[in-house]
Amino acid sequence: GCYDRYGSGTTCNWIDITDVPAGEYTLVLRTNWQQAPDALGRHEQDYTNNYAQLCIEITRDQNDVPSFSVLQNCPTWTDCAGIPYGDSRYDCTGTCGGITQTGDLNSDAQRDAADAIEYVTGILGNDVSASACTDLNGDGLITVTDGALLANCYNTQDAHDQSPHVLHYHPWCDYPRGWLSTLDTAWLSLGNFDPVGKTVDIFLKNPNSRVLGYEFDLSGLTIQSVENLSPNVMNEMAVSSSLGGTKVIGLSYIDSSIVKSSAPMPLCRVHYLTLTDAQICIADIADIVNEDANNIIHHGTGDCLTVPNTVV
């Protein structure tokens, strides 16, 4: 039967066109295009059948349900350099055969923790804008999701490189990618307000999935610093803010994640500089991402704590 992923014995593969816009498309399949030998050093005797293409037209009905039909006698697909079934591709800057990598914020030709950290500092400093080279999930925004997708890229690639494998398929570093996991939900809430110690705690309930990262804004205070309270990632979840700001970002750069919990558990502690209102509130939740760096449903915006009159 057909499967979503190719494996030994697979007779056919499903191709998901759920979110593909209506139009004409060419599906190209290339096998061993670099003419590499197998594990025993043997080369193929004939490479003329190592490629195929199929042209389809996707249409959508009045309910936006997609369907497709096969187009006959379509032109041979060529890469951006004009080579039939060639390797040249446009990079994120629009250069054919260019070497700029999407997500490589520091332009050192490597996608690693330094870039994920730069996403977080860029968000806090409001000095990284969405573009084809920075917006990893294609939503027009730069949030913790982009940093999480970058961390997922280099961590998954590293694990892949260190394990035996015969399938050289690396989708975790192909962008844009990611989706909203509607089966996963998380809740943020406030608690443990300490006017003497000038702290307030944030709690997380995540019964459906582990959490790799989060980003939210508070109102009613300005932040001095934040600290991680999640016990299973105490030294593995970096929690960041800017002095005098209101935004908090938590992200694991080493692919650790917060365990599931069906009850609210301590997430982080905010040390505040000043109180600016009679209530401290979760003003906005930008994103919460699961262990696969996909967005999940989140709740908690508008949750507030009242500041006693003796404190304000």
In a domain, 214, yes or no: yes
Pick from 88, 116, 150: which residue ends a domain?
Answer: 88
Give the per-residue pLDDT at 267: 98
Q: In which band, very low, low, confident or very high, does the pLDDT at 8 lie, cut at 50, 70 and 90?
A: low
Phi/psi at 146 (5° precision): -65, -45
Tell whether 137 and 78 lie within a shared domain: no
Beta carbons within 8 Å of 303's beta carbon, 6+ residues apart? 188, 189, 190, 281, 282
Tell whether 74 and 190 lie within a shared domain: no
- Identify any residues that bridge with 11 across adjacent strands, giving them in sequence order: none
Pick from 46, 63, 88: which residue ends a domain?
Answer: 88
In a domain, 40, yes or no: yes
Secondary structure (3-state) at 201: strand
* 90-146 pLDDT per residue, tens: 999 999 999 999 999 999 999 999 999 999 999 999 999 999 999 999 999 999 999
The answer to whether residues 189 and 300 touch, using CB atoms and an 8 Å cutoff, is yes
Beta carbons within 8 Å of 265's beta carbon, 6+ residues apart? 203, 204, 205, 230
Tell the burial category of 83 from Cβ atoms under 10 Å away from its Cβ (0-12, 13-18, 19+): exposed
Tell whether 180 and 80 lie within a shared domain: no
Pick from 88, 119, 154: which residue ends a domain?
Answer: 88
Residue 260: CATH number of its domain: 2.60.40.680
User: In terms of residue numbers, what domain contains 17?
Assistant: 1-88
The total number of structural domains that make up the chain:
2
Give the per-residue pLDDT at 217: 98
- Identify any residues that bridge with 306 across adjacent strands, giving them in sequence order: 279
- Rounded to whole angstroms, the Cα distance separating 110 from 198 reads 41
pTM across the whole model: 0.84
When mean pLDDT is compared over 72-76, 153-157, 291-295, the highest value belongs to 291-295
Q: Which residue has the tokens 């003003």?
A: 283
- Identify any residues that bridge with 265 across adjacent strands, giving them in sequence order: 204
Tell whether 217 and 244 lie within a shared domain: yes
* 170-226 pLDDT per residue, tens: 688 999 999 999 999 999 999 999 999 999 999 999 999 999 999 999 999 999 999
- Rounded to whole angstroms, the Cα distance separating 305 from 284 reads 15
Tell whether 121 and 263 lie within a shared domain: yes
In a domain, 97, yes or no: no
- Identify any residues that bridge with 251 across adjacent strands, giving them in sequence order: 213, 238
